[in-house]
């Protein structure tokens, strides 16, 4: 009886192992394939840290550079009127401000010919600006698609 039980356990383990390995491999591939968002920000900005946490909770990997964002904003071709407290880059696109992760996922799916996305200033209620300290307040704001050569169009509206 002891050897039957041992054989049964060995058989179950052998049958489960390929599925387990496949699941582990899929998890590794998913983690490795997640888009990386590089973020330039002030080392002391709490809302930037909250935005990064929002991205990570929505499938992105992040890399923060705590050196400020003005030089990177200029380098990526983002006009000052679109400025916010952090600047990012993902898959060749620029990202300025508190852009929701859903809009970044859409950008990466659609791949428009553009500089990237921006949420100018720091609207309350946008990701990273939505903590308990704001008392549930939500300001309306637009996510802007920044066009090459200047200008923008509304990519998403939050009201």
The 10s digit of each residue's pLDDT in 113-152 is 999 999 999 999 999 999 999 999 999 999 999 999 999 9
Q: Verify that 8 and 50 share a domain, yes or no.
A: no
pTM of the model: 0.79
Q: What is the structure's pLDDT at 56? A: 98
For 3-23, what is each residue's pLDDT tens digit?
444 444 444 444 433 433 333
Question: In terms of domains, do 75 and 39 share one?
Answer: yes
**Model pLDDT for residues 103-113, shown as the tens digit of each residue:** 999 999 999 99
Output the CA–CA distances (angstroms, integers) from residue 7 to 12, 13, 16, 39, 57, in the order listed: 8, 10, 14, 54, 43
Q: Looking at the structure, tell me whether residues 120 and 137 fall in a common domain.
A: yes
Residues 107, 139, single domain; the answer is yes
Structurally, the chain folds into a number of domains equal to: 2
Longest dimension (CA), the chain: 78
- Say if residue 69 is in the same domain as residue 28: no
Confidence at residue 32, expressed as pLDDT on a 0 to 100 scale: 62
Do 49 and 22 share a domain, yes or no? no
Residues 56 and 130 in one domain: yes
Please write the tens of the pLDDT for every residue from 63-107: 999 999 999 999 999 999 999 999 999 999 999 999 999 999 999
Q: Is the pLDDT of residue 1 over 90?
A: no
140 and 74 housed in the same domain: yes
Is the pLDDT at 30 greater than 90? The verdict is no
User: Nearest Cα to 128, choosing from 44, 45, 39?
Assistant: 45
Neighbour-count burial of 110, counting CB atoms closer than 10 A to its CB (0-12 exposed, 13-18 middle, 19+ buried): exposed
Range of the domain at 21: 1-33
């Amino acid at each position: 009886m002891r050897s039957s039980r041992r054989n049964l356990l060995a058989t179950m383990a052998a049958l489960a192992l390929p599925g387990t390995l496949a699941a582990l491999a899929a998890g590794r591939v998913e983690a490795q394939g997640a888009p990386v968002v590089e973020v330039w920000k002030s080392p002391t900005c709490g809302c930037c840290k909250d935005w990064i946490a929002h991205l990570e909770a929505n499938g992105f990997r992040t890399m923060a550079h705590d050196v400020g964002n003005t030089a990177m904003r200029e380098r990526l071709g983002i006009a000052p009127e679109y400025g916010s407290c952090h600047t990012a880059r993902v898959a060749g696109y620029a990202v300025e401000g508190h852009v929701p992760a859903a809009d970044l996922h859409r950008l990466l799916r659609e791949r428009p010919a553009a500089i990237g996305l921006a949420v100018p200033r720091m609207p309350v209620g946008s990701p990273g600006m939505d903590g308990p300290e704001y008392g549930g307040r939500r300001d309306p704001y637009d996510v802007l698609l920044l066009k090459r050569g200047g200008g923008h169009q509304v990519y998403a509206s939050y009201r």
